[in-house]
Amino acid sequence: MNWDFHIDSVFTSMENIMVLDESEEISIEMLKPLLACVKKNREVQRLQNLNIVYMKISYRLFTFTKGILPVAHKLGK
């Protein structure tokens, strides 16, 4: 099997399927997976941003308590 030809034929078929005239309406069935992918990507990005914020807060809390715990331990004696 000639893979180079196969790959070219796949791309050609994909181009034929995906090319839409500007005047053509896009069906809701075609848009749903695309919009779901965009929504998922936004949610992933939001979670990554939250993760960065949580890591910064955790680091600051750790540094803060690292300085206070020895003092609090001495006060408790």
Q: Which two tokens stand for residue 5?
A: 């030809």
pLDDT interval class at 66 (50, 70, 90):
confident
Rounded to two decimals, the pTM is 0.43
Cα 20 to Cα 9: distance, rounded to the nearest angstrom: 19
Those residues with Cβ within 8 angstroms of residue 20's Cβ, 6 or more apart along the chain or in another chain: 26
C-alpha triplet 36, 38, 42: angle, nearest 5°: 115
pLDDT at 73 over 70: no
* Greater model confidence, 54 or 15: 54
Q: Which of 48, 18, 15, 16 is nearest to 33 (CA)?
A: 18
Q: What are the pLDDT digits (tens) for 5-35?
A: 566 676 676 666 666 666 567 778 877 887 8
